[in-house]
Amino acid sequence: MASFAEEQKIKAHMELIIEDGDYKAYFSQGTNADGVSAWYLTNDSDKAAADTLLDAKVAELTAIGDATANGEGPSDFDGYTPIHFDDSIADAGVDYRTWFVDENADYFKADNGNSDSLVQVTESSEISTLLTDSNYVA
Task: Name the average pLDDT for the chain.
Answer: 82
Report whether pLDDT(1) > 60. Answer: no
Q: Which residues contact 63 (CB under 8 A, 6 or more apart)?
A: 11
- pTM of the predicted protein model: 0.48
Would you list the domain boundaries of the chain? 4-60, 74-134
pLDDT for 63 equals 57
Report whether pLDDT(64) > 80. Answer: no
Q: What is the pLDDT of residues 100-120, one digit of tens each?
A: 999 899 999 999 888 888 999
pLDDT for 47 equals 93
Report whether pLDDT(76) > 90. Answer: no
Q: What is the pLDDT of residues 18-52, one digit of tens each?
A: 898 899 999 888 876 777 777 788 899 999 999 99
Q: Angle, to 10 degrees, between the axis of helix 4-19 and the axis of helix 47-60?
A: 110
